[in-house]
Amino acid sequence: MSRRRDRVAPPPRKGGWDCRFASNAVANSWEQLSASVPNSVRAAWDLITADPRRRSKRQHPLRGRLARATANGTELPQWQYEVTGGGRIWYCIDDDKKTVWLTAVHIGHPKATE
């Protein structure tokens, strides 16, 4: 079972970004989303860890009060990856540590973005 600060498997590729869970709740939600749409979650992981700031219809920064979040004790910019029509991965980008912190994983569309 994954826990807070654990690495989101598999390990990063050479030159890629490390990816870690910001909380136990995120780790649990990641497992649920992975079980329901494994190929889509793997594609999301591949894109996020290759270039967390890549902009597309699915991957973009969050806005307003969601634009920043705290991960590992540091306030960082927060982005979103749309895994499915409703499923979302929210993550913070820590340039200093070249780490992406998963801050939320939503199985369905998050109400906070409505």
Say what the pLDDT of residue 13 is: 80
pLDDT in the model for residue 114: 53
- The per-type count for the chain, helices as H runs and strands as E runs, is 2, 6
Domains of the chain: 18-109 (3.30.2310.20)
pLDDT averaged over consecutive 10-residue blocks of the chain (114 residues)?
Answer: 66 86 93 94 95 96 96 96 93 96 87 56
Token couple for 82: 């749309």
Listed in sequence order, the residues at least 6 apart from 11 whose beta carbon sits closer than 8 Å to its beta carbon are none
- In this prediction, residue 14 carries a pLDDT of 84
Look up residue 15 and give its DSSP letter: T
